[in-house]
Amino acid sequence: MKFGAVVMAAGLGTRMASTEPKVLHKICGKPLLLHIVELLLSMEAQKIAVIVNHGKEKVIEALNVALSAQQKKRVLWIDQKKPLGTGHAVLQAKSAFQRFSYPMVILSGDVPAIEAKHIYDLLEIHQQQNPQITFATAHLPIETPYGRVIRHGGDVVEIKEAKECTPDELKIREMNLGLYVSSAENVFSLLPQVKNDNSKKEFYVTDLIKLATTKQALCLEQAESLLGINTKMDLAHEERVMRNKLNEKWMQAGVTLEHPETTYIDPDVKLGQDVVLEPNVHLKGKTVIASHTVIRTGTIVEDSIIGEHCTIGPYARIRPGCRIEKEVRIGNFVELKNTRMGEASKAAHLTYLGDADIGKRVNIGCGVITCNYDGGLRYAHKAKTKIGDDVFVGSDCQLIAPLVIEKGAYIASGSTVTHKAPKDSLVIARARQVTKKNYMPMLKKRLKRTS
């Protein structure tokens, strides 16, 4: 079903007590607003107008980084120069929706867990009943500071903000979820009649209900995912709810979570069957992990691809841009960044591999470091290290990039390698050992203190 959307995201977010715009706070690694915009983009939203003001450059930049060029074309940014309330926010979209004939959905930028079915259900009811405006409600605990749905004889009359309610009205448990459907024509002809004669001196979009001659409320049973984020407590709560859902989805798909309470899987992560996640694992961004791979305790993987039958961790850090092929072993305190690791290669302990292209069956010993950064002296970018198949790098080596180690080469432990290691060569780049036989008793005698 085609529709247009106005996303209100210009509010100050005072209750977050933060210098960061509210809609950029993250849930499961993703800004609140991005959750919503991505959802709308995945639906048949013909036009998505986002109303911004507070920190708008930051907000637009954060979303533009995440969206594709194609997606960006469908998103329209509108500056609500002064945030004078939700009604005033929607009014800013007037010219963008002139002669727009599909239904218009109005929602907030602070409901990250909203799902397509909520929007489609509302659109459907709206189309069937054909009132001027349809909106979503739910029965919520009495202490929820949401707008109350005032009914007379069962019919909806208006929405009253909690602050404006009488003690009796505050007992009403049917509350406004802040999700509305109407036509652009209705919305923009009614909005100019909204007044700001309330305690906050704001123009409330909720007054549209009072002004509309025909209105319909859709009362949702499970409204958990439609609760807005207003405080840091809401943020933490919503994070838990969403994490739980994601974890359950993966367990249903055959992933083992040894301790779901401390397993953090971002929404865009993809996991194969029989992946095992030990406690305290963080899988971030667009990470992909193929079947039968074990991610051990304390490991962080971000925006990287890991093949099947690998073991990663404990305590490994796989930073963005890594491609780890099948049967690789990455052990404790190993950090990888922008690195390919070929099939059946190993880096089992205490290692940093950055900007490296590593072949198959390579052994990276304990304490190996690719020195990819020269402080900007010669190379504007981080320099590359290329390691061929079947290379052995002994423990405690520094590989000074740019560097090529060809297939089958063997790097002796403790080497600082600065020049190319040709195919099948042995490279030893360390000071020779000096051994002085029976030297110590003599030295001790000589140095013995006299006083």
Instruction: Give the interface with Ca ion as residue ranges (CB under 5 A).
Output: 110, 228, 230
Q: What is the DSSP letter of 146?
A: P
Residue 133 binds ligand UD1 (CB under 6 A): no
The residue whose Cβ lies closest to ligand UD1 is 147
Residue 88 binds ligand UD1 (CB under 6 A): yes
Tell me which residue has tokens 């929607």: 90
- Token representation of residue 214: 């025909």
* Among Ca ion, ligand UD1, none, partner that 29 touches (CB below 5 to 8 angstroms by kind): none
Residue 40 binds ligand UD1 (CB under 6 A): no
Q: Which is nearer to Ca ion, 25 or 284 (CB)?
A: 25
Q: Which is nearer to ligand UD1, 176 or 280 (CB)?
A: 176
Q: Which is nearer to ligand UD1, 175 or 387 (CB)?
A: 175
Binding to ligand UD1, residues 183-212 (CB under 6 A): 204-206
Residue 131 binds ligand UD1 (CB under 6 A): no
Q: Which is nearer to ligand UD1, 161 or 325 (CB)?
A: 161
For residues 333 and 316, the answer to whether their CB atoms sit within 8 Å is yes
**How many helices and strands (H and E) does the chain possess?**
9, 36
Q: Which is nearer to ligand UD1, 92 or 370 (CB)?
A: 92
Concatenated DSSP letters of 221-247: S--GGG----SHHHHHHHHHHHHHHHH
Measured distance CA(149)–CA(218) in Å, rounded:
11
Site string for ligand UD1, 94-113 (x = CB under 6 A): --------------xxx---
The region of 176-184, 337-345, 389-397, 416-424 touching ligand UD1 under the rule CB under 6 A is 176-184
- Measured CA to CA in angstroms, residue 235 lies from 38, 178, 383 at distances of 19, 17, 40
CB of 120 to ligand UD1, least distance (A): 20
Look at residue 300 and give its three-state secondary structure.
strand
Q: What angle do CA 430, 434, 437 make, to 5 degrees?
A: 155
Residue of 228, 298, 354, 394 interacting with ligand UD1 (CB under 6 A): 228
Residue 92 binds ligand UD1 (CB under 6 A): no
Binding to ligand UD1, residues 3-32 (CB under 6 A): 8-11
Q: Which is nearer to ligand UD1, 97 or 204 (CB)?
A: 204
The residue whose Cβ lies closest to Ca ion is 228
For residues 209 and 158, the answer to whether their CB atoms sit within 8 Å is yes
Q: Is 309 left (phi over 0), alpha (psi -120 to 50) or beta?
A: left
In sequence order, which residues have a C-beta less than 8 Å from that of residue 238 and are 6 or more positions away?
27, 112, 113, 227, 229
Amino acid identity, position 127: Q
* Among Ca ion, ligand UD1, none, partner that 135 touches (CB below 5 to 8 angstroms by kind): none
* Among Ca ion, ligand UD1, none, partner that 311 touches (CB below 5 to 8 angstroms by kind): none
Looking only at the bridges linking them, the beta strands covering 356-358 and 294-295 are unpaired
The crossing angle, in degrees rounded to 10, of helices 32-42 and 56-66 is: 50
Q: Which is nearer to ligand UD1, 134 or 415 (CB)?
A: 134
CB of 110 to Ca ion, least distance (A): 5
In sequence order, which residues have a C-beta less than 8 Å from that of residue 383 and are 6 or more positions away?
355, 372, 373, 374, 401, 402, 403
CB of 171 to ligand UD1, least distance (A): 16
Residue 177 binds ligand UD1 (CB under 6 A): yes
Size of interface with ligand UD1, in residues (CB under 6 A): 28
Q: What is the DSSP letter of 166?
A: -
Amino acid identity, position 110: D
Catalytic site residue 237? no
* Among Ca ion, ligand UD1, none, partner that 351 touches (CB below 5 to 8 angstroms by kind): none
Residue 159 binds ligand UD1 (CB under 6 A): yes
Residue 218 binds ligand UD1 (CB under 6 A): no
Q: Which of 139, 292, 309, 349 is catalytic?
A: 349
Which residues, listed in sequence order, are joined to residue 354 by a DSSP beta bridge? 337
Measured distance CA(355)–CA(381) in Å, rounded:
10
For residues 7 and 108, the answer to whether their CB atoms sit within 8 Å is yes
The residues of the shown chain that bind ligand UD1, judged by CB under 6 A, are: 8-11, 51, 80, 83-86, 88-89, 108-110, 146-147, 159, 161, 175-178, 204-206, 228, 230
Q: Active-site positions? A: 349
